């Protein structure tokens, strides 16, 4: 039986970013250096396949420092943690390694600098997301006001409307965030913004690739986890850019083939915490059902690399 023809548009860049790659290396190198088990506070990155693979190598994932024994190393996830967490680990004389993405750490430093200059912070982010919790936890309670949407801006009650600065979660929708920033600047004309936008290069690049891909096909799949902020934003960006079908899948077995019946083209991308093996798995699933022609939609080339902490590079 002849397979139906399908053009598969593959977004570039897609998948792992430098911060995710670094965080995974940190866990793997810690297991080699100190042996198993190594404890990780929160999922190191938001991807079940990655987390399960590290668990098989000897990582134990927990939610709080209290769940970690004092005599084993603990690693803090790529999303960052409140300042109180490493302080408590140091007080307990634990070995700990901070796998916070350097671009998230940049936002932490920025918030600290504004606070020292007497400014109250407004954070654009998602309530309860680990990155938001970690960033807000860099400053004393009440010093960071959280907004998620432009509508939230109208309800803000800052200490001094003329002494404000804003920061953002690194994995937000670029377009949605621009709307919130515009609302902040409209209501608080003196609000101070970041020197360089806080949404990270990887988030921005993946969203731009999705927009370019959406111009070529009405259907799109995003490979990523349901708790991955940047992956969910890619689905939303695809829908906004004109894809009538834009869905998140974790693995190939999650694809709803009935919903794709009759398609002649589809776009494929992956969130920043999805490994290449899952992208290949999805492409192979399409090859099994269709006569696939692959076209790459490249909007940026990434060559960013972050070093792991010195404690893991030091053989002593």
CA–CA distance, 176 with 182 (Å, rounded to integer): 10
Angle at 300 between CA 279 and CA 80, to 5 degrees: 70
CA–CA distance, 229 with 244 (Å, rounded to integer): 21
Catalytic member of 28, 112, 131, 281:
131
- Tell me the β-bridge partners of 231: none
CA–CA distance, 279 with 301 (Å, rounded to integer): 18
Question: Which residues, including other chains, have CB under 8 Å from residue 246's CB and lie 6 or more apart?
Answer: 219, 220, 222, 235, 236, 238, 239
Is 208 catalytic? The answer is no
Strand residues in the chain grouped as ranges (E): 5-12, 38-41, 59-62, 74-76, 96-98, 120-124, 144-147, 164-168, 219-223, 245-249, 265-270, 291-298
For residue 163 the two structure tokens come to 């002494």
Which residues carry out catalysis? 131
């Amino acid at each position: 039986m002849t397979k139906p023809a399908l053009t598969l548009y593959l977004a570039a860049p897609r998948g792992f970013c430098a911060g995710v790659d670094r965080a995974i290396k940190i866990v793997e190198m810690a297991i080699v250096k100190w042996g198993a088990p190594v404890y990780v506070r929160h999922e190191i990155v938001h991807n079940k396949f990655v987390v399960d693979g590290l668990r098989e190598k000897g990582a134990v994932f927990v939610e709080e420092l209290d769940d970690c024994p004092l005599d084993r190393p603990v690693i803090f996830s790529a999303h960052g943690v409140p300042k109180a967490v490493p302080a408590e680990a140091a007080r307990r004389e634990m070995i700990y390694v901070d796998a916070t993405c350097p671009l998230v750490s940049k936002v932490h430093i920025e918030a600290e600098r504004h606070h020292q200059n007497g400014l109250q912070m407004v954070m654009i982010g998602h309530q309860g997301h680990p990155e938001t919790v970690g960033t807000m936890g860099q400053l004393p309670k009440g010093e960071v006001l959280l907004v998620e949407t432009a509508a939230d801006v109208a309800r803000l009650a800052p200490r001094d409307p003329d002494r404000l600065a804003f920061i953002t979660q690194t994995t937000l929708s670029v377009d949605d965030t621009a709307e919130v920033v515009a609302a902040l600047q409209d209501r608080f004309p003196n609000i101070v913004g970041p020197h360089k936008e806080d949404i990270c290069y990887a988030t921005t690049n993946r969203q731009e690739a999705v927009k370019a891909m959406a111009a070529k096909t009405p259907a799109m799949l995003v490979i990523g986890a349901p708790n991955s902020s940047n992956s969910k934003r890619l689905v939303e960006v695809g829908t906004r850019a004109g894809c009538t079908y834009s869905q998140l899948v974790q693995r190939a077995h999650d694809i709803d083939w009935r919903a794709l019946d009759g398609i002649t083209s589809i776009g494929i991308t992956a969130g920043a915490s999805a490994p290449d093996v899952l992208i290949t798995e999805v492409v192979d699933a399409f090859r099994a059902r269709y006569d696939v022609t692959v076209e790459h939609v490249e909007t940026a080339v990434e060559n960013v690399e972050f070093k792991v902490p010195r404690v893991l590079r030091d053989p002593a």
